[in-house]
Structure 1
């Protein structure tokens, strides 16, 4: 009976080792697929980025609202500005223009077609530039700063000297009090 249990114990670790080896191979295959999918997403975003080159060439140099670039993280993104980016949809084939706001994320456009996304990004940039113009036109100039009244700062030397004199007199009075009480 002991031999049978020993034989059973020897057989199970071999099967477990085989199962672990197989699980590791499958995990490596899945990781490879995930990396391939991420590379495919970055490649699609790069295609859109190149298609946006003529649009960004038209933006005047003095407008610094837009900072385009692809970030490669868990979810690759093509940033248009600080609050909007293009990300691949769940099917990894469709582009999704997304804007972050204080109320959450809002999908502005979604399409499989690069030219449709170029149009959506163009419309977004145009709206942002108009918003900027309105803000600059209605901006209230800051009130003129009144010169601060000149305040004479008193010397700190005399309060320091006064503190030393008061401290010495206090110590002398304490010593005199202690010496008269001891007799």
Structure 2
């Protein structure tokens, strides 16, 4: 409970800075071009995700996490997902392009809500990648067996032989232990009936 209070206090300064920047952007939005306002808000989202970016695996080239300028600036998460500002220039929209069209993954005026959604999406992508790598490994092992079935059968035979030799040793060990036990019993057998 104490750690939760500390983490809320630690985030309070960052949250306050973001709120001041949002207020500043809203105040300047009358004077500044709309594209600059959108870019400034996306920069705030980028700052909110800095700690998440530091934790990401180094070999995740498919995730870009950068702002790409254009007619409508976007914060790209990967090749199909991005965050842009809605028409009101205050609402963040986390979108994903799919085969069936564009899907809204999250929509909020709170930068922390959208940052949480992006973080969750990144976690899903990392897990999907791990599963894909594991399935590639299993497929390669299965294809090795399919390509060279004789080698796979030889490996199974060798394993059975090792298991068989072990069983024979245990059998003889059991007989030997029983014989020793019988001799000891006979040796110490009471002679009075």
Question: What is the aligned residue count?
Answer: 114
Q: Which has the higher helix share?
A: 2
Report Cα offsets for 1:56-114 as digits up to 9, x if no partner.
Answer: 10001122221111111111100011111000012110101101111111100011011
2:85 maps to 1:88 = yes
RMSD between aligned residues: 2.3
How many Å separate the matches in 2 of 1:54 and 1:108?
A: 21
Residues of 2 paired with 1:35 and 1:116: CA distance? 26
Distance 1:34 1:105 in 2: 32
Structure 2 residue ranges without an equivalent (≥5): 1-29, 148-193
Separation in 2, partners of 1:36, 1:84: 25
Matched, 1:114 2:86: no
Q: Tell me how far 1:35 sits from its aligned partner.
A: 6.4
Runs of 4+ in 1 over 6 A off after TM superposition: none
Among 94, 98, 117, which residue is 1:97 paired with? 94
Aligned match of 2:179? none
Aligned pairs for 1:1-183 within 5 A: 36-139=33-136, 140-141=139-140
SS at match of 1:121: helix
Q: Normalising by structure 2, report the TM-score.
A: 0.55
Alignment gaps of 5+ in structure 1:
1-32, 147-183
Give the 3 Å change call, closer, same or farther, for CA 34–89 of structure 1 in structure 2. Answer: farther
